[in-house]
Amino acid sequence: MSLLPSLSGLPDSRRMDDTEHPDTFPPLTIEQIRELAAAIGEIFGSNLPRMDFTDKLLLFLEDVPGYETDAADTSLIDSAWAEYARRDRGV
């Protein structure tokens, strides 16, 4: 007896495609964004220009499911930059 649910009644596309699609991943939390900004600051320093910061952020996001491409949402980049810049001011 199998503990797995039967897939015999599902269309072929449902049986074969169990991967997550980028639009099904939840957005990063503010805490995760803060951690990314902190990690960038710790590794690359706290005085990166915004363009360099964005490049480093996108490099970090390459390994995050749903963010593997350079198409990160601008609000995510803006939030991460704000956290990074705030850390630089010691706030």
Q: How far is CA 34 from the centre of its chain?
A: 12
pLDDT at 8: 52
Q: pTM of the full predicted structure?
A: 0.67
pLDDT tens for 26-68 read: 888 999 999 999 999 999 999 999 999 999 999 988 887 777 6
Give CA–CA dist 14/65, Å, rounded. 21
Q: Is residue 14 part of a domain?
A: no
Q: Is residue 88 part of a domain?
A: yes
pLDDT at 33: 93
Backbone angles phi, psi at 19, to 5 degrees: -80, 155
Q: Is residue 18 part of a domain?
A: no
Confidence of residue 90 (pLDDT cuts 50, 70, 90): low
pLDDT at 67: 76
CA nearest neighbour of 67 among 25, 29, 32? 25
Decide if pLDDT at 86 tops 70: yes
Q: Is residue 2 part of a domain?
A: no
CA quadruple 13, 16, 20, 22: dihedral sign: negative
Q: Is residue 63 part of a domain?
A: yes
Structural domain range at position 89? 48-91
47 CB-near residues (< 8 Å, 6+ apart):
88
Number of separate domains in the chain: 1
Decide if pLDDT at 2 tops 60: no
